[in-house]
Amino acid sequence: MVTLDGPGAALDVREQPMPKVQRDNLLVRVELSGVCATDLHICQGDIPGFRYPVTPGHEVVGTVAEVGADFTTDVTGRPVRSGDRVVVMPATPDGTCPSCRRARPVPDCDNFDVIGFSVPEERQAGGGWGQYVLCNSSRARVFVTEATPEAAVLAEPASTPVEGMRRAGVAFGDSVLVQGTGTIGLLAVAAARALGAARIVAIGGPERRLRIAEELGADTTISIEGTPDSEERVRLALAASPGGLGFDAVAECVGAPAVLPEGLSCLRKGGSYLELGHFSDVGEARINPYRHLLAKDARLVAVSGYTPESFHRALLMVERLGPAAESLVTHRLPMSRAQEAVNALAPGRQYLLDGTEVGKIVIDPRL
């Protein structure tokens, strides 16, 4: 298992003790576990309150190695059997705290047990960058899938845009602008397409990702490299919006505070701004509350987690996309190269690894 002792430390591969499986547990032999920008921020210490040491990996697909007698079905009621391929929702609520008992429509628990975010004293196995992940309560949310591991590993990152668009009420015929063409941005394009958006515009780069955005459903792409000026990008985006009036929804999938005013400027009156990109604290944005929000009657939707319902729909989306989803996965690496994987996501690295442009990197602990 890959272990990080603290911010700035090197990722280290250590022997993983075989987890003990209790009656209400499910043990997953990891096939693939994604590397995401959040993992870079965990390594850098950008997430307030984050505790170490940690074995990262919150995007997990694998096969059931052992299933406890009380862990009978997945979230949808399908029986879970040894050998089944499953995707795992990383966060398990305790089910008893005041937030859980309020049962609001947003995912909320005071004591989430999060695979890939938790310390060894509190859970036997860590995150997906190891051979085994333990779902340590029957409240854990797993889903049996027939998708390939390369498609299924995208269910977790797809859940954020799916949750955001469902909460914002993005509907058939809407116009959607996606800021950013990393994994979340590309999956936001796919989610907008799946919801029946009539006009989808994506701002991002480099060129290969813009082509993938088009394959996944973007009608128009705007290259950051080709159009480095923010005001010019706003002009181009508005020109591509229906009637030049702006977009019903704008999804922030960059994770850089500076893009907020640009995205808000592209919002149609009454539109929704979806904040999907900032899972860590990387600074502040300057916005004009009148011009960007009030004058537009704007609605702000921020997503820090998702419901099992959104996760399931995200899984159905990537299952249906199949090879188109798999094309997002560019690198499959052994645990010993986890540090390189994380480093490749750092800004200024040209997003190159082994001479190939980085899309979604996955760790395969069997390599």
CB of 107 to Zn ion, least distance (A): 10
User: Residue 95 and residue 255: Cα distance in Å, rounded?
Assistant: 31
Q: Are strands 329-333 and 352-353 parallel, antiparallel or unpaired?
A: unpaired
The nearer residue to Zn ion, 110 or 297, going by C-beta atoms, is 110
Residues 6+ apart with CB under 8 A from 109: 91, 93, 94, 95, 97, 99, 100
Question: 38-77 mask for Zn ion (x: CB under 5 A)?
Answer: ----------------------------------------
Q: How many residues does the chain have?
A: 367
CB of 101 to Zn ion, least distance (A): 8
Binding test (CB under 5 A) with Zn ion, winner from 19, 57, 93, 149: 93
Which amino acid type is present at position 177? L
| 4, β-bridge pairs | 54
185: exposed, middle or buried (C-beta count within 10 Å: 0-12, 13-18, 19+)?
buried
CB of 111 to Zn ion, least distance (A): 5
**109 makes contact with Zn ion (CB under 5 A):** yes
The nearer residue to Zn ion, 93 or 164, going by C-beta atoms, is 93
Phi, psi at 2, each rounded to 5°:
-85, 125
The nearer residue to Zn ion, 82 or 96, going by C-beta atoms, is 96
Tell me the window of 99-107, 128-136, 138-146, 218-226 that interacts with Zn ion (CB under 5 A).
Answer: 99-107
CB of 360 to Zn ion, least distance (A): 31
Specify the 3-state DSSP secondary structure of 164: helix
Which amino acid type is present at position 37? A
Question: 307-346 mask for Zn ion (x: CB under 5 A)?
Answer: ----------------------------------------
The nearer residue to Zn ion, 94 or 340, going by C-beta atoms, is 94
Binding test (CB under 5 A) with Zn ion, winner from 47, 75, 97, 285: 97
Tell me the window of 91-99, 144-152, 170-178, 203-211 that interacts with Zn ion (CB under 5 A).
Answer: 91-99
Binding test (CB under 5 A) with Zn ion, winner from 94, 215, 219, 357: 94
CB of 137 to Zn ion, least distance (A): 12
The nearer residue to Zn ion, 114 or 256, going by C-beta atoms, is 114
Angle between the 308-321 and 183-194 helix axes, to the nearest 10 degrees? 90
User: Residue 173 and residue 89: Cα distance in Å, rounded?
Assistant: 30
The nearer residue to Zn ion, 23 or 101, going by C-beta atoms, is 101
Residues 6+ apart with CB under 8 A from 196: 171, 172, 173, 174
The nearer residue to Zn ion, 109 or 362, going by C-beta atoms, is 109
Closest Cα partner for 333 from 360, 296, 310, 306?
A: 360
**100 makes contact with Zn ion (CB under 5 A):** yes
Residues 6+ apart with CB under 8 A from 89: 75, 140, 141, 142, 143, 156, 159, 308, 311
**139 makes contact with Zn ion (CB under 5 A):** no
- State the residues that interact with Zn ion by CB under 5 A: 93-94, 97, 100, 109
